[in-house]
């Protein structure tokens, strides 16, 4: 009996060791999309009243957990019964990531022209504030759902040849890190300015160390969010390019003389602008048909 118990412990330890190794591999493959997830959610969680930032972020985090509860079982069922569907969804997700990255670059160089007069500031009621808050939370949760699908499928694709139990443990671990880690960092980022303000008001003296640190944190917040957006855009193209290189035979061995990371970025960028062009052309055709 004792030997059987210790054998079970040894099996569990071996399984956990395998999960840790595979989790590290899956983590590397999903790092890019996690960076974009962090950038997107930091942007969406900012802009609220200071007293509402954490409650709003908690509401989005709960929505993210609920998203994972929907996505994970469906992903595991596909992996168990229709494994080829995982690759198809992975490539579709790659097309979306490439399109999103290309669109961000396009919007940077050719920003939308805002038609009509500039919006006027006006007082709104508390009920209207709460209504706008709910809309932003809903939008953030929908965005999280899309990003969560991509994270889970990419993680699942990295362990698709492993036993189902290993897949469940590794992908669930990545999903948990994606929620707890990302939203934990978002909470720290969106409260940077609040913490900085507290340091500035720590004493009545001027130009103290706390004042300098506080002013730095307040000034750094918009720059951090903007930097995350740039990093996230690059990550989108790298992740999408990696998906195409590893799952579409045509891209295997393409541009062998160039570093792999550069090839993945260029392929992601090229595919992204092709998809962006097709979508814009389809939009123009649809407008003409409606007109």
Residue 26 · residue 171 · CB < 8 Å: yes
pLDDT digits (tens, 9 = 90+) for 16-47: 554 555 555 555 555 556 666 666 666 666 66
Any domain includes 118: no
Mean pLDDT of 188-213: 80
Any domain includes 9: yes
Residue 71 · residue 149 · CB < 8 Å: yes
Instruction: Work out whether the CA dihedral 158, 164, 170, 172 comes out positive or negative.
Output: positive
Distance CA 81, CA 60 (A): 32
Residue 55: both structure tokens together:
């409650």
Number of domains in the chain: 1
Residue 198 · residue 214 · CB < 8 Å: yes
Residue corresponding to tokens 């389809």 = 282
pLDDT digits (tens, 9 = 90+) for 125-144: 667 667 777 888 887 787 77
Which domain range does residue 274 map to?
A: 2-111+124-290
Any domain includes 59: yes
Instruction: Work out whether the CA dihedral 256, 260, 265, 268 comes out positive or negative.
Output: positive
Distance CA 27, CA 137 (A): 27
Any domain includes 215: yes
Any domain includes 117: no
């Amino acid at each position: 009996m004792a030997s059987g118990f210790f054998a079970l412990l040894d099996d569990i330890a071996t399984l956990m060791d395998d999960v840790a190794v595979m989790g590290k591999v899956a983590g590397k493959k999903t790092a890019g999309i996690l960076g974009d997830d962090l950038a997107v959610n930091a942007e969406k969680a900012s802009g609220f009243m200071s007293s509402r930032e954490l409650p709003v972020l908690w509401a989005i985090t709960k929505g993210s957990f609920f998203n994972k509860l929907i996505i994970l079982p469906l992903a595991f069922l596909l992996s168990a019964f229709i494994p080829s569907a995982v690759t198809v969804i992975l490539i579709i997700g790659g097309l979306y990531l490439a399109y999103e990255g290309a669109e961000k670059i396009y919007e940077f160089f050719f920003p939308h022209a805002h038609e009509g007069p500039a919006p006027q500031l006006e007082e709104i009621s508390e009920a209207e504030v709460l209504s706008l808050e709910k809309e932003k939370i809903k939008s953030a949760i929908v965005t999280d759902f899309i990003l969560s699908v991509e994270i889970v499928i990419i993680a699942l694709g990295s362990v698709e040849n492993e036993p189902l139990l290993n897949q469940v443990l590794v992908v669930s671990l990545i999903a948990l890190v994606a929620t707890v880690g990302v939203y934990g960092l978002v909470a720290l980022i969106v409260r940077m300015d609040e913490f900085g303000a507290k340091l500035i008001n720590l004493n009545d003296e001027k130009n103290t160390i706390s004042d300098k640190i506080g002013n730095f944190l307040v000034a750094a917040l918009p720059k951090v969010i903007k930097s995350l957006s740039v990093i996230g855009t690059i990550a989108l193209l790298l992740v999408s390019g990696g998906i195409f290189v590893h799952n579409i035979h045509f891209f295997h061995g393409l541009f062998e003389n160039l570093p792999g990371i550069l090839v993945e970025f260029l392929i992601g960028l090229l595919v992204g602008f092709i998809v962006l062009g097709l979508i814009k052309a389809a939009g123009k055709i649809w407008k003409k048909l409606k007109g």
